[in-house]
């Protein structure tokens, strides 16, 4: 039996996996890939269960009565399903215009599919209405990195550099739970004496192993960073030569952080002044040093500015572009990096080009064989599009690929209402997710080990996803579905269902852009265990480390950006006295649509738990495992309590992998960051009470 080397279907680490056909199913084991080096987490070890799961969608489904969404879904042929979709698209565009049909993509799509989806919406639908769930994930850090560096590659260095750093500041990041095999790099550094400082309102598994845990009030990470920079300046720890030679805009930042003196920052954040001084001294003097942020710092109504504050700190200390040193953001979704490079974002074209840039429009239109004037201008961001579904001027027919927005969007009950208001909802998935259960047409799609393609991991390493077995007979790939639908809409000649052909076109479309894949071929990916972008030609080695010489900005300098603390959009008050923050558990992934169906993972975490400090629990008469109701201004959700003295007494935490009564996103605040349009997932005000079983 021939083994196939491919990659885990879940997170952005993209661990290497070897699949061997062993009748009646495949045998899965870790591959010796340079990222995971033989390691896998529980999700990866059990990923083969998805392939022949009894819940697998095996045929298209349509509503028994097309006019009644409460009628049951029944199996249908692809012809019938596509016919319903084409009829609805034509009808909607005739009545309401081209933008009334839209798509919502996902950071789990391969590069080929993300590219094809962006092109499908602009070329086949001629619509501006497209965005994707990465807007809820990476958009703030990406916006900040683009402002500072002129480029957004989550980690601008390989993971192996993390092991060589002597000091690492991790802000709102919990890799010990989110991507356990990545801890081997932090562990290796620690074994050599490195010191890790974790910033998190909870004593997470990552914080437990750290040298120091800073525990700020959620929503004050920016003040913390500005306070660290204030101290660095006052104590003469900034790198004046680096600032002079490699950056611009520092004086405005110097003036801004002057107001963040330590006693004030301690009052704002709750982090003791002594720990602020120690942190900045370690970052400045115990190098090489790194600052890594993740969603805890970024998913706020000021998430872009918060990430920017840590970028400012890294630049002022002269960390960026030096060996085993710098600033990075830890991407979460499997293809969160590639998914934001190839055009499924409302404002973007392939190669990380701007849709409103005339030169970019001309280049991409030429590759696509259309007139640049045919390309729509940028549409609405993810939540702004969802918020207006089914309304005048909003999207009326929505195609959803690789996303379970009924669980993962903020203010999820409102989003569910909006999904119900659509004229037609089409969902492509492998299981009947909470979103698919609302759909008029459900399309069964091929999954990770059943199709070819490429992914780009959190380091910017482009890798091959390989097909180990064929999909079930009535299951199609999303590339096939888009090509078929484009054909029925009279634009079939622009689309291929073959991943290699799509990738070859993607290479041409990305050539000369920020995320330049022109020199990357399937053959190179096979031979080299992945290639780091940018890679402008086939004889270029790829770029594992960025910024050693200069930055891709007009003057070659990194840019400081002045940022100020602003209170979160929603603060606790008498009615809703606590801060709710959300995040991951080790055994679940994203909305849980896949992992909640895997027996071993469900046994480990059969239900979500809300994490409470014992003092807070006592105040409300709550004991461990009691059923608890959380209420926010938008809704309510129920969880069993887990008492943990490691969380701040003014903060509660709940995971976001569940829907229905356990949907924490029924509570979260859809207030958007003004730069990235990222919702404020990480802070909202809640009330808490013990409740009885029904
Ligand atoms: Fe899969 Fe991520 Fe776990 Fe690796 S760390 S096995 S990529 S879920």
Say how far apart CA 177 and CA 587 lie, in whole Å.
Answer: 8
pLDDT in tens, 132-187: 999 998 899 999 999 999 999 999 999 999 999 999 999 999 999 999 999 999 99
Q: Is the interface score ipTM higher than 0.90?
A: yes
Domains of the chain, each with CATH number or no CATH: 4-50 (2.20.25.90), 61-137+336-497 (3.40.50.740), 139-329 (3.40.228.10), 578-690 (2.40.40.20)
Average pLDDT over residues 589-616: 94
Whole-number pLDDT of residue 682: 94
Say how far apart CA 15 and CA 354 lie, in whole Å.
Answer: 31
- Intra-chain end-to-end CA distance of the chain, in Å: 53
Q: Which two tokens stand for residue 435?
A: 């979103």
- Which residues does a 6 A CB cutoff place in the pocket of ligand 1? 8, 10-11, 13-15, 36, 40-41, 43-44, 179-181
453-456 sheet: strands from edge to edge: 453-456, 461-465, 531-532
Burial of 509 (0-12, 13-18, 19+ CB in 10 A): buried
* Ligand 1 atom nearest to 44, measured from its CA: 6
Q: Ligand 1 mean position to 41 CA, how many Å?
A: 6
Whole-number pLDDT of residue 665: 97
Residue 655: enclosing H or E segment and its boundaries? Answer: strand 651-655
Using CA positions, which residue lies closest to atom 4 of ligand 1?
15
Task: Identify which of 166, 265, 163 has the alpha carbon closest to the alpha carbon of residue 221.
Answer: 265
Whole-number pLDDT of residue 694: 62
Using CA positions, which residue lies closest to atom 2 of ligand 1?
11
Whole-number pLDDT of residue 418: 98
Question: Are 385 and 131 in contact, with CB atoms under 8 Å apart?
Answer: yes
Using CA positions, which residue lies closest to atom 1 of ligand 1?
44
pLDDT interval class at 692 (50, 70, 90): confident
Average pLDDT over residues 634-643: 97
Say how far apart CA 444 and CA 499 lie, in whole Å.
Answer: 18
Say how far apart CA 364 and CA 349 lie, in whole Å.
Answer: 7
Counted residue by residue, the chain has a size of 694
Say how far apart CA 116 and CA 494 lie, in whole Å.
Answer: 10
Partners of residue 16 on adjacent β-strands: 7
Q: Ligand 1 mean position to 6 CA, how many Å?
A: 12
* Summary mean pLDDT of the chain: 96
Q: Ligand 1 mean position to 553 CA, how many Å?
A: 34
Q: Which two tokens stand for residue 664?
A: 């924490």
pLDDT in tens, 54-89: 999 999 999 999 999 899 999 999 999 999 999 999
Q: Ligand 1 mean position to 456 CA, how many Å?
A: 14
CB neighbours of 300 closer than 8 A, spacing ≥ 6?
140, 219, 221, 306, 568, 673, 678, 680, 681, 682, 683
pLDDT in tens, 93-110: 999 999 999 999 999 999
Whole-number pLDDT of residue 405: 97
Question: Are 74 and 62 in contact, with CB atoms under 8 Å apart?
Answer: yes
Say how far apart CA 582 and CA 262 lie, in whole Å.
Answer: 28
Residue 627: enclosing H or E segment and its boundaries? Answer: strand 627-631
Q: What is the largest CA-CA distance in the chain?
A: 72
Question: Tokens 């078929």 correspond to what residue?
Answer: 484
Pocket-testing residue among 33, 42, 48, 181, ligand 1, by greatest number of atoms within 8 A of Cβ: 181
Question: Are 660 and 589 in contact, with CB atoms under 8 Å apart?
Answer: no
Using CA positions, which residue lies closest to atom 6 of ligand 1?
44
The residue ranges of DSSP E strands in 109-226, in sequence order, are 130-132, 167-171, 195-199, 212-214
Question: Tokens 């660095």 correspond to what residue?
Answer: 232
Distances (CA, A) of 248 to 145, 227, 318, 326, 559: 15, 20, 13, 17, 5
Using CA positions, which residue lies closest to atom 3 of ligand 1?
41
Interstrand relation of 4-7 and 16-22 (parallel, antiparallel or unpaired):
antiparallel
CB neighbours of 457 closer than 8 A, spacing ≥ 6?
12, 13, 14, 35, 331, 337, 463, 530
Q: Ligand 1 mean position to 393 CA, how many Å?
A: 41
* Ligand 1 atom nearest to 36, measured from its CA: 4
Question: Tokens 């998430």 correspond to what residue?
Answer: 303
């Amino acid at each position: 039996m021939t083994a196939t080397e491919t990659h885990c279907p879940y997170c952005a680490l993209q661990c290497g996996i070897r699949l061997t056909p062993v009748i009646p199913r495949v045998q899965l084991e870790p591959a010796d890939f340079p990222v995971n080096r033989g390691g896998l987490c529980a999700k990866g070890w059990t990923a083969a269960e998805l392939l022949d799961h009894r819940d697998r969608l095996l045929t298209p489904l349509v509503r028994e009565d097309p006019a009644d969404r409460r009628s049951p879904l029944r199996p249908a042929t692809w012809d019938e399903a596509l016919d319903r979709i084409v009829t609805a698209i034509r009808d909607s565009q005739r009545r309401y215009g081209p933008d009334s049909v839209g798509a919502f993509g996902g950071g789990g799509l391969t590069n080929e599919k993300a590219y094809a989806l962006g092109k499908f919406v602009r070329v086949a639908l001629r619509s501006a209405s497209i965005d994707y769930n990465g807007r809820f994930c990476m958009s703030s850090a990406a916006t900040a990195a683009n402002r500072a560096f002129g480029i957004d590659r989550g980690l601008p260095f390989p993971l192996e550099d993390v092991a060589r750093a002597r000091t690492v500041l991790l802000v709102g990041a919990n890799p010990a739970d989110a991507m356990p095999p990545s801890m081997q790099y932090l562990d290796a550094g620690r074994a050599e004496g490195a010191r890790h400082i974790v910033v998190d309102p909870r004593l997470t598994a990552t914080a437990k192993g750290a040298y120091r845990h800073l525990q700020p009030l959620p929503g004050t990470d920016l003040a913390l960073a500005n306070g660290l920079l204030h101290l660095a300046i006052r104590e003469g720890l900034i790198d004046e030569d680096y600032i002079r030679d490699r950056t611009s805009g520092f004086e405005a930042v110097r003036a801004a952080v002057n107001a963040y003196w330590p006693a004030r920052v301690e009052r704002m954040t709750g982090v003791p002044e002594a720990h602020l001084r120690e942190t900045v001294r370690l970052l400045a003097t115990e190098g090489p040093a790194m600052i890594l942020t993740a969603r805890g710092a970024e998913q706020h109504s000021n998430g872009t500015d918060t990430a920017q504050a840590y970028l400012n700190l890294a630049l002022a200390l002269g960390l960026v572009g030096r060996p085993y040193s710098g600033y990075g953001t830890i991407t979460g979704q499997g293809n969160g990096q590639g998914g934001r490079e190839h055009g499924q974002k409302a404002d973007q074209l392939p190669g990380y080009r701007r849709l409103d840039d005339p030169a970019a429009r001309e280049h991409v239109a030429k590759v696509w064989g259309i007139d640049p004037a045919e390309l729509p201008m940028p549409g609405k961001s993810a939540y702004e599009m969802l918020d207006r579904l089914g309304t005048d001027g909003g999207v009326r027919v929505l195609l959803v690929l690789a996303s379970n927005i009924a669980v993962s969007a903020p203010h999820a009950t409102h989003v569910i209402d909006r999904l119900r208001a659509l004229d037609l909802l089409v969902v492509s998935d492998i299981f009947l997710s909470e979103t698919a259960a609302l759909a008029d047409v459900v399309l069964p799609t091929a999954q990770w080990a059943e199709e070819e393609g490429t992914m780009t991991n959190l380091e910017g390493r482009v890798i091959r996803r390989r097909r180990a077995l064929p999909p079930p007979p009535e299951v199609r790939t999303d590339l096939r579905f888009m090509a078929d639908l484009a054909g029925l809409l009279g634009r079939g000649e622009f689309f291929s269902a073959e991943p290699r052909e799509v990738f070859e076109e993607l290479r041409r479309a990305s050539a000369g852009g920020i995320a330049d894949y022109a020199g990357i071929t399937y053959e190179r990916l096979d031979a080299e265990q992945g290639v780091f972008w940018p890679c402008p030609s086939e004889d270029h080695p790829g770029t594992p480390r960025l910024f050693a010489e200069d930055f891709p900005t007009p003057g070659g300098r990194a840019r400081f950006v002045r940022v100020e603390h602003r209170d979160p959009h929603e603060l606790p008050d008498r009615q809703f006295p606590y801060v709710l923050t959300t995040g991951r558990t080790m055994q679940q992934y994203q909305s849980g649509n896949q992992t909640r169906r895997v027996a071993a993972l469900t046994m480990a975490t059969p239900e979500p738990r809300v994490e409470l400090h014992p003092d807070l629990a006592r105040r409300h008469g709550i004991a461990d495992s009691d059923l608890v109701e959380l209420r926010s201004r938008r809704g309510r959700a129920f969880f069993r309590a887990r008492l943990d003295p490691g969380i701040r007494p003014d903060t509660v935490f709940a995971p976001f992998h569940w829907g229905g009564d356990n949907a924490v996103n029924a509570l979260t605040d859809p207030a958007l960051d003004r730069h990235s349009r990222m919702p404020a997932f990480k802070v909202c005000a809640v009330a808490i009470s013990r409740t009885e079983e029904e």
